[in-house]
Amino acid sequence: MEKIFPLNLTAQAAKVVPGNPVTTRLESGVGNCFPGLEYDHRNLDRRFFPGLVFEFGDVTGAPLVRVDTNDPDLDPATFEGLPADAPKPAVQTALRTALNGDPGKALRQGSWVLASITQGSRTITVTDQPGLTVWRLVRSLDPGPVDIVLTRDAGTPKKISLSGWRRRFVSTKTGVISGAFQPGELTQSLCSPWMHDFRDCACTYWASNHPDIVLAEQVPGADPDPVWEETPIDWLRSDRALARTAAAVGTEAGNRPAQMDHYEINERWQDLSIVLAGHEVSNVFSARQAESANPFASPDELAQKLADLCELEHAVALEYLYAMYSVKDPAVAKGQALKEAVAFVRHEILIIAVSEMRHLRWANQLIWELEQHAGLTTPGKKFGPSLGIAAQVPGAKGPRKPDLRVLDKDTLDDFIAVEKPSGTLDGAYAQVLATLRDPRYPPPLEQLAARILADGMEHFTRFREIQRVLAPFAAGNPPAYLQTLVKADAKSGKAAFDLYQSIVADLRSAYALGDMEDAASIARARATMFELKAEADKLASAGMGVPYF
């Protein structure tokens, strides 16, 4: 007799049921974060038709790989007590007889492929479809009657038709996966951690805890080299010496020779690093700047700092937007290489500028949350919305006044200095983040600040990349990638300036309402941004930039 037996539903659910491995549980699966990585879904469908096993891969069509007459779906006992799920006894008997008889014998010889599937009144021919398309079609079958046709090129017969049913992969009564699936079958094509098939993953779809490209280890206490900090390296590299670590190249084939081979992974799997926040960690994790920054003393001080940061975000967003127009329009740039370079650079700067605008919105949201929502700041003191322009911004040679400039070397150096990890912006948000960790602040605020901080790191990388891409065209005065751009005078720039002012006014009224924001103002500001872009394009074609300030 069993000693301990579950009575109520939660007790029954907690009992480990034979058939479902523990890894299929949500709490134990990587599927927590990446649904689908618990098993390869195709492995369910390869047994969609009882008694047969297909393969859905890179080849055309779905080849039959095996006839399995031990399939429990062919056994009448499997469906006892499950009237709703049961195939008609006559259909089951006929299929079992066929697979144990001549058709089954024929199916074991030669190369058979799935030719067509019929369900209800619809028949789909799948012979010439790519394997993954056939899988997709099989995937959409409902549980219930299905007829299939298999064909082969040589031998007699060339064609076999079978009537059966789309398997129920999981029992509707117990939740147990069908016994047709053998141990390991559902996970067989996954790149399981710490196993040598890590090298052979064909889908290049890693979860975050088994990455292919990582950032190098951060040495605690050392002043981080920002370039090294942002250089992607190959996680599987065979030579683990820090001094000899090189940046990963852009192709899988390029990195291959430097990676551990299959058996090396088996032997040295413990050398593969844990990855935290993108960085390898080989020792005890040690907090860096974001974790160790000094918090602000009071909600008032925090709100004031955020208001200042808003002005800074605003100033640099405008500097970036202005500079973008100084880069040649790809349509007029001469030579394919330059065309591609300027198209890339303009696109990247625009992305960074838009991201700064988003930060402006988030930082204002933080202020609103502190001030209006949680009511943490001193009543009567007003910190937001903050949409002014900072009087000073960080630069490569120290603080400077914000300026609308073309994207020459000095400007680019200044932009990189603003976004540098551990630089002014990054450092200030680290302090904001450290402050918001205090439990008196609502938790979502901390998450918002963390997102801004993470974005800043990306801006730095993007500007570094811009610098690299422009380097071949940097000679000459002006460099070949630049076009003439002077700040438009009050008259020529009036239309654009007025549009910009109206955007700011709309944002101000929307941000004043925080997350209850006034959708009409936001929509209007967005629409005006398109008008501003058209106006800025017009000015740029005449060699002028928008006089934002």
Partner 1 sequence: MTQLVTLEGQARPAAPPAPWRLIAGERPLVFVVDGSRLFGVEPEFFAALQEERPEAQQELLGAVVEESRQRDFAAGLPEPAAISLNIAQSCNLACTYCYADEGRFGGAPQFMPLEVALQAIDRLVEGARGRRVTVGFIGGEPFLNREVLYGSVEHARERARAHGCTVGFSVTTNGTLLNADDVRLLRERGFAVSVSLDGGAALNDRHRRARNGASGFEAALAGLRPLLENPGKARVAARATIARDDLCVAERVEALAAAGFIEIGVSPLRTGPDASLVLRDADWPRLLEEMMRAAEQEWRRVRAGAGFRFSNLATAMKQLHTGSAKPLPCGSAANYVSVSAQGGYFTCHRTIDDRRFSLGTVDEGLSGWRRESFLQERHVDRQEPCRTCWARYLCGGGCHAEVLSAGRSGCDYIRGWLEYCLRFYDRVLRERPGLLGVEVV
Question: Would you call the peptide bond into 478 cis, given omega within 30 degrees of 0 as the criterion?
Answer: yes
CA 105 to chain centre: 48
Q: For partner 1, which stretch binds (CB under 8 A), given 11-19, 64-72, 158-166, 462-470?
A: 11-19
Closest CA to 113 of 72, 83, 148, 88: 148
Options 196, 240, 339, 373; binder of partner 1; rule CB under 8 A: 373
3 binds partner 1 (CB under 8 A): yes
Q: For partner 1, which stretch binds (CB under 8 A), given 96-104, 289-297, 436-444, 489-497?
A: 436-444
User: Cβ–Cβ contacts within 10 Å for residue 40, how many?
Assistant: 19
Rounded CA-CA distance 504/266 in Å is 59
Q: What would you report as the CA-atom Rg of the chain, rounded to the nearest whole angstrom?
A: 31
Helix (H) or strand (E) holding 23: none
Rounded CA-CA distance 86/33 in Å is 35
Q: How far is the CB of 445 from partner 1 (least distance, A)?
A: 10
Q: Are 546 and 485 in contact (CB under 8 A)?
A: no
Measured from the CB atom, is 14 or 243 closer to partner 1?
Answer: 14
Number of residues that bind partner 1 (CB under 8 A): 20
* 250-to-68, 216, 232, 458 alpha-carbon distances in Å: 44, 17, 10, 18
Measured from the CB atom, is 74 or 448 closer to partner 1?
Answer: 448
Measured from the CB atom, is 198 or 511 closer to partner 1?
Answer: 511
Q: For partner 1, which stretch binds (CB under 8 A), given 3-11, 285-293, 401-409, 541-549?
A: 3-11
Rounded CA-CA distance 404/319 in Å is 5
Q: How far is the CB of 144 from partner 1 (least distance, A)?
A: 23
Q: For partner 1, which stretch binds (CB under 8 A), given 290-298, 324-332, 438-446, 458-466?
A: 438-446
Q: For partner 1, which stretch binds (CB under 8 A), given 10-18, 87-95, 506-514, 539-547?
A: 10-18
Measured from the CB atom, is 8 or 251 closer to partner 1?
Answer: 8
Q: For partner 1, which stretch binds (CB under 8 A), given 4-12, 257-265, 467-475, 496-504?
A: 4-12
Q: How far is the CB of 11 from partner 1 (least distance, A)?
A: 4
242 binds partner 1 (CB under 8 A): no
Rounded CA-CA distance 174/193 in Å is 30
Q: Are 140 and 45 in contact (CB under 8 A)?
A: no
Q: How far is the CB of 5 from partner 1 (least distance, A)?
A: 5
Closest CA to 363 of 321, 294, 317, 415: 317
516 binds partner 1 (CB under 8 A): yes
Rounded CA-CA distance 200/190 in Å is 10
* 431-to-68, 205, 290, 307, 512 alpha-carbon distances in Å: 63, 35, 7, 14, 24
58 binds partner 1 (CB under 8 A): no
222 binds partner 1 (CB under 8 A): no
287 binds partner 1 (CB under 8 A): no
Q: What does the binding site for partner 1 look like in residue numbers (CB under 8 A)?
A: 1-11, 13-14, 27, 373-374, 442-444, 516
